[in-house]
Amino acid sequence: MNGQTMERGRFAPSPTGRMHLGNVFGALLSWLSVKSRGGQWLLRIEDIDPDRSHREYAEQMMDDLLWLGLQWDGEPLWQSQRSHIYEHYFRQLEAQGLVYPCYCTRNDILATQAPHESDGRVVYKGTCRHLPPQPGRPAAMRLMVPDSDVSFTDGHYGLQTVNLGRQVGDFIIRRKDGAWAYQLAVVVDDALTGVTEVVRGRDLLLSSPQQMYVAQTLGFAIPRFVHFPLLCNKSGQRLSKRDRSLDMGALRQRYSAGQLIGLLAHLAGLLPAPQAVSPADLLPLFSWDKVPRQDITVE
């Protein structure tokens, strides 16, 4: 790379069920985005939720990715094996005086919300910020955020500005059950594996300022963020693992790998009509300018 930093993207599924068409759409776009620039594509299994994560789902995901022709670089990273690493960086945040125990239930937090304040999002009001610790009482651990704006230029949706205090609030980095929260684990993993680009659905746009704040506080470089439109069903709802007719088990019975990649390429604006192609066939065609910005309905 002529002395330049190697571009690295990543796909980071949670093994809580079979991948569906929306997951594969994200995998393909993240693969194309980094591979079109000669970079590496890493696979991370986000299995830090012990109640919902299952290894058999992770193994199915890896089999599905290989069937589709989406080969990752290096060995997969398993978050469940990295608790000691998250602990180290949690202690760094704690040492800066930015972490405090929160005893609130979800109902407690919802009771403080005015319907217009957060467009349906739950913004924590800092109720427990100044409470004395209560030893023996289960508590989540929250990270204090400043009342300030964070701006970044998304690779697909352009300039984004979010006020951490008003639109996000202090957020959880360790759950009451001791499990590590997403916002800490992903920042640490992206930084330590050299990820330079994060490609994911636009429903995670609000996570980017939170992760930028964590990264800055820990002294990490901030990756480039690129968000893409969501695939929705006919009712306008985002595809989920409940849409069984569009999970990979059903899709592999209805399509060849090439046909499925071609369908996704058409939805992404890369092909005028679906046709059987490999991911590598799409590399010379890929551009974020072609990808729609509005959510996409799947018939």
For 85: left if phi > 0, alpha if psi spans -120 to 50, otherwise beta; the answer is alpha
In the prediction, which pLDDT does 299 show?
A: 76
Least confident of 17-31, 118-132, 162-176, 216-230: 118-132
Residue 33 sits at the vertex; the CA angle it makes with 30 and 37, to the nearest 5 degrees, is 140
**pLDDT, tens digit (0-9, with 9 covering 90-100), for 147-194:** 999 999 999 999 999 999 999 999 999 999 999 999 999 999 999 999
CB atoms near residue 139 (< 10 Å): 19
The Cα-based distances of 36 to 142, 153, 224, 285 in angstroms read 39, 20, 15, 9
Q: Once rounded to an integer, what is the mean pLDDT over residues 40-52?
A: 94
pLDDT at 110: 67
Q: How confident is the model at residue 1 (pLDDT cuts 50, 70, 90)?
A: very low
Tell me what pLDDT residue 232 has. Answer: 92
Residue 118 confidence (pLDDT) above 50: no
- Whether residue 125 is predicted with pLDDT greater than 90 in this model: the reply is no
Q: What residue has token string 């299994």? A: 45
Report the alpha-carbon distance of residue 197 to residue 200 in Å, rounded. 10
Query: For the whole model, what pTM was predicted?
Result: 0.92
How many whole angstroms separate alpha carbon 68 and alpha carbon 30?
14
- Distance between alpha carbon 297 and the CA centroid of its chain, in Å? 21
Q: Token pair for residue 104?
A: 């609130």
pLDDT band of residue 216 (cuts 50, 70, 90) is: very high
Classified as helix, coil or strand, 185 is helix
pLDDT at 133: 84
Residue 62 CA to residue 59 CA, distance in Å, equals 5
CA 272, 277, 281, 284: dihedral to nearest 10 degrees? 10
Task: Quote helix, strand, coil % in the chain, to nearest 5.
Answer: 35, 20, 45
User: With contact defined as beta carbons under 8 Å apart, do 285 and 271 qualify?
Assistant: yes
Taking CA 59 as the corner, what is the angle to CA 47 and CA 200, rounded to the nearest 5 degrees?
55
Q: Is the pLDDT of residue 4 over 70?
A: no
Tokens of 32: 């194309």
141 touches 102 (CB < 8 A): yes
Q: Please tell me the least confidently modeled range out of 113-127, 212-226, 270-284.
A: 113-127
* Mean of pLDDT values over 95-121: 74
What is the spatial distance between Cα 84 and Cα 3, in angstroms, rounded to a whole number?
A: 32
In whole angstroms, how far apart are CA 153 and each of 52, 147, 162, 234, 266? Answer: 33, 20, 12, 31, 26
Helix (H), strand (E) at residue 78: strand 77-78
Confidence of residue 240 (pLDDT cuts 50, 70, 90): confident
Per-residue confidence at 109, pLDDT binned at 50, 70, 90?
confident
- pLDDT-derived band at 3 (thresholds 50, 70, 90) equals low
Give the mean pLDDT of 263-292. Answer: 98
